[in-house]
Structures are given as C-alpha cells and as structure tokens.
Amino acid sequence: MATFTKISDEESPSISINAGHRIAKINDNIYGGFTEHMGRCIYGGIYDPDNPLSDENGFRKDVVAAIKELNVPVVRYPGGNFVATYHWLDGVGPRKNRPRRPELAWDSVESNEFGTDEFLKWCEVVGTEPYFALNFGTGTLDEALAWVEYCNSEKDTYYANLRRQNGREKPYKVKYWALGNEMWGPWQVEQMTKEDYAKKAYQWAKALKRYDPSLELILCGQDGCSTWDAHVLKECVKYDAHDLGGTGALVSMHSIHIYTASKDHLPNATAPRSAERAIEITGGLIDLARIENKVPPSVPRQTICFDEWNVWDPARAPGEQGAEEQYTLSDALAVAVWLNVFVRQARHVGMANIAQSVNVIAPLMTTERGLWKQPTWYPLLLFSRYMRGHSVAVNVRCGEYAGPTQPEWIRGTVETPWLDVSAAVTESGMVSLAVVNVHDERGFDVDLEGVKKGEVNVFTVTGSGVGAVNMEDIEAVGLKESTWDGEGKFTFPKHSFTMLRWRA
Ligand code: AHR
C-alpha cells in the first residue's frame, strides 16, 4: 500500500518507508507466466524439437534457463482464447495418432504435437506449477472431469490408466483449474451471458470439487469493474456443503484480464493505475458477495487471479499474426508500474500471470540462434528476484502528471504521481523499494526517509529515450547495478525504474 501526498513540481519530493509496517503477504504466484497455443509461444518458443538448442524432450534449453532465472512459480496453459475449442485428448498418446485440427481463435492449424504430458513435463523441468484452463466453449463437463482424472487420479480408472499407458505412472497433481476464459468476449467461441456463465460455472465447480476437493477453481471474470464480475461473484461465491472434504468454498479465485497501451509515453506508463482500481473494486465485490451470501468466516476469502496482464495493443501486434510486440523503455516502465500495483494490492491478489511468457507479447524472444530480452524483462526480473515477503507502508510526496490518460477514466478516479512506488520486506529482513520515475524530461532528487545508512544496492533500468528498444544483437535497455551510502538525497533519473535494497 502506498499513500500519495501531492505537491507542486517546484517543491522537494520525498518518499518515506516504514519497513516495520507490514501490510500484507505477497503471494509468490504474482510472478506467474502464461503459455498459450498462439503464434510462436509453444511451437518455436518453449518447444522446438528440430533446433540444436533443444533437449531430448524438444524443450528449448535457453528458454528453460531464462524461465528458471525469472523463478516463475506457476504457468497457465493452454489458453487464452485457444482453449475454447481445445480437446485435451487430441494432445495425448502417440504423436503419430494425434489429429491436426483447424484452430479457431488465432486462425491457424493445431498439430497437437505438444499437449498435456509435454506441458506437465516442461513444468517439472522448469520447476514451476501448472495451471490449466478448461474449455467452456465446445468442451463438456465430462471432458473436464476426464482431464482432471487423467492428471490427478491414483485410482484404477479409465483416464488414470490412459495416463499410465502414455508413460506416466505418478499423478501430476494439478491444483489450479480455470472455469473458462473470457467467456464474456464477442470473439469467444460460445460466448455466454453472465447469467448462463454463472450457472454453468457453479455446476461445473460442484462436480469438479466433488471429484477432488483439493482443486483450486478460478472463476472467469472480466476486467474487475463490470456487471459481469459483480453477477458472477454474487452467484458463485457461496458456502456450499457439496464441497465435500474441502473448505466449503467452491471457488478460490476470480480471474480478471487487462491489457494497457498508448502510443504516447505518459498515458502508456500510467495506464496500469487502472488495474489498481480494478483490483480494489473486485476486492469489494468479493466482500459484497460474501456478506450478502452469508459465507462463514471459516471459508478462506477469495482472491483475484490476474491471469492475463501486460502492455499490448492488438492493432499494433495482432493476435492472428503472432502478437510479437516490440517493447520500448516506456513499456518497461509500464510493466514496472503494473508490478508495483500487484505489490501494493498484495492483500487482494492471489496470482498474476504476465501474458505471455515467450514470443507472444512477451519479455523473452527466441530466434533459431538463441534468445534476447525485451526491455520489459528487466523490471520483471528485479521484482521476481527481490519483491517477496510482505508489502510495507510507503508515503510518496511529489508532483503529479496531469495530462490525458488511457483509459480516460483514470483521471478523476486514480492518482498518477510522477514517482510510482511500492516496497516490500522479506522474512530475512531485506527491504526493497521500487520507484518508477515516469517523467520523460526530468529526474527528481528525493529525500528518502526510512532508508538505512550504509550500503544500499541500486538497480537501474533506463535507456536513451522512452522509445528505446532491444533487438537480437542490441541491448539498448538493460540493467545497471551500483551502490549508494544512503546519505543525502537520491536522484531518480528521468524515464527510469530503480530498485533500492538494504538490510532493515
Ligand atoms: O493473451 C492473448 C489473448 O488475449 C488470450 O488468448 C485471450 O484470453 C486474451 O484476449
């Protein structure tokens, strides 16, 4: 949580941090990823069997190493919009028998060469937890139950035995399952009304939890500030005695998606502030549903699963063409603001997944020869590495950007300070302060109250201008490391992201 005191641009800014004032535990799962059968994310991204850079499974070793470096705790699969026509049985068993199918979401052909067992094996190699989305488009409840059985059952039953026959004795124990994806969207195969979705989600949840009470089910919300969200939460966040052996909560999380973008730097960098308000509103809707439905306090409070977030302009990088966004320094600053939002709102966020992990609107790009990192990689790396533990209280005194915003409703609803800040303290007492200076023309000399004198590690991400981009052989936006003695004012350079770290 951060509070903001607005001052004029002529006054001297300050940030005060109190590492003793812990606000909320930061769920490690906010650093989650997402791999969809879309563009070059799976094929040519994580799976590239004919490339010498791949291992015996066909997994790109350089990608595995990068995802490990990011310490990604959970990865969503297989979509996204792709899942609305996906039949998981097409993607298991001997490869020569797997059908090639027309793919409707991204107007392509799915070979099914990579499917459930390959993805779950990849998760084991990477050291991450899988999160599956269920087909609420052309899929059936029987098919969903069969998928859970295939992945998780230890019994002597048909689909558990099919898994054994396909070479995997031990169940995978997949915990996270989403009840559809963006079912409200006109682009979705079998788009639904909120009433129809809520009814179906509730019935599927009952059956899935009856089958396995340890599953964590995730509702399909919209953007957190819509009547869809309010209705679906009201109808599905209930105490249910059918959750045999579970807590009585059929659903654990409510998913929301937001992509931000603007061609102009300041609206672009401040746009993730809309996600902050969306999280607060969704948190309120969750509480409202619990209050109205008299959910007993023994049922753990549902959290938000922000399972698609990023900077993306689909007009600039269309999904049907692989959505290979070329990210700029401005986008990297936006991503840092996004991550500040998740840390500040740690109380509400149970999981967040950057969409996506490789090649498709991604921080990581592969070529046949290797991989390169977009500017957005660096804030993600620093947050995942250091912003763990608890979020802590900060107050920011500085001037505010007062121009146009994207979306427009940010202005008048949410503040847009020049310095966007969050802070965290780990169990071992390391404090991290994340500061994005979105101003593209001036740096700020800032009094930092609460920073310990002595050695402060400084990590800086910036570049020559907000439009700077990286390419296969050019790293115009990278990471610089230095130290500071904690004395006097600290200068946050123009258009930069800085992380300061010290022992409390
Ligand atoms: O991440 C790309 C697409 O964006 C996903 O498939 C969909 O869920 C969203 O609209």
The tens digit of pLDDT for each residue in 406-457 reads 999 999 999 999 999 999 999 999 999 999 999 999 999 999 999 999 999 9
Q: Tell me which residue has its CA closest to atom 3 in ligand 1.
A: 80
Output the pLDDT for position 9: 96
Catalytic residue among 36, 276, 308, 325: 308
What domain range includes position 307? 26-388
Residues 276 and 209 in one domain: yes
Neighbours of 231 (CB within 10 A): 17
- CATH code at position 222: 3.20.20.80
**Ligand 1 binding residues, C-beta < 6 A:** 36, 79-81, 181-182, 308, 319, 355-356
Residues 366 and 484 in one domain: no
Strand 2-6 relative to strand 390-398, pairing: parallel
Residues 439 and 364 in one domain: no
Measure 38 CA to ligand 1 centroid, in angstroms.
Answer: 9
* pLDDT tens-digit map of 235-271: 999 987 765 556 778 999 999 999 999 999 999 999 9
Residues 276 and 366 in one domain: yes
Output the pLDDT for position 243: 57
Distances (CA, A) of 301 to 4, 7, 222, 289, 378: 28, 37, 19, 11, 33
Single pTM value for the model? 0.97
Q: Tell me which residue has its CA closest to atom 9 in ligand 1.
A: 80
Among 388, 420, 440, the domain boundary falls at: 388
Measure 286 CA to ligand 1 centroid, in angstroms.
Answer: 24
Residues 375 and 411 in one domain: no
Res 1 pLDDT > 80: no
Among 328, 361, 388, the domain boundary falls at: 388
Residues 380 and 409 in one domain: no
How many angstroms separate the CA atoms of 185 and 480, rounded? 42
Catalytic residue among 36, 110, 182, 276: 182
Among 388, 413, 429, the domain boundary falls at: 388
Residues 7 and 44 in one domain: no
Residues 459 and 374 in one domain: no
Mean pLDDT value across residues 32-52: 98
Residues 370 and 421 in one domain: no
Measure 397 CA to ligand 1 centroid, in angstroms.
Answer: 37
The residues pairing with 351 across neighbouring beta strands, listed in sequence order, are 305
How many angstroms separate the CA atoms of 341 and 363, rounded? 19
- CATH code at position 10: 2.60.40.1180
Residues 170 and 45 in one domain: yes
- Based on the residue annotation, tell me whether 182 is a catalytic residue of this protein: yes
Sequence-distant (6+) residues with CB within 8 A of 491 are: 443, 444, 445, 446
Residues 272 and 341 in one domain: yes
Sequence-distant (6+) residues with CB within 8 A of 128 are: 33, 67, 72, 73, 74, 75
- Based on the residue annotation, tell me whether 368 is a catalytic residue of this protein: no
Residues 164 and 240 in one domain: yes
Domain count, the chain: 2
Output the pLDDT for position 123: 98
Q: Tell me which residue has its CA closest to atom 4 in ligand 1.
A: 80
The residues pairing with 275 across neighbouring beta strands, listed in sequence order, are none
How many angstroms separate the CA atoms of 24 and 1, rounded? 9
Q: Which of 407, 408, 435, 406 is CA-nearest to residue 421?
A: 435
Q: Tell me which residue has its CA closest to atom 1 in ligand 1.
A: 355
Output the pLDDT for position 148: 98
Output the pLDDT for position 248: 75
Res 393 pLDDT > 80: yes
Measure 81 CA to ligand 1 centroid, in angstroms.
Answer: 6
* pLDDT tens-digit map of 187-201: 999 999 999 999 999
How many angstroms separate the CA atoms of 313 and 35, rounded? 19
Atom of ligand 1 nearest to the CA of 79: 6
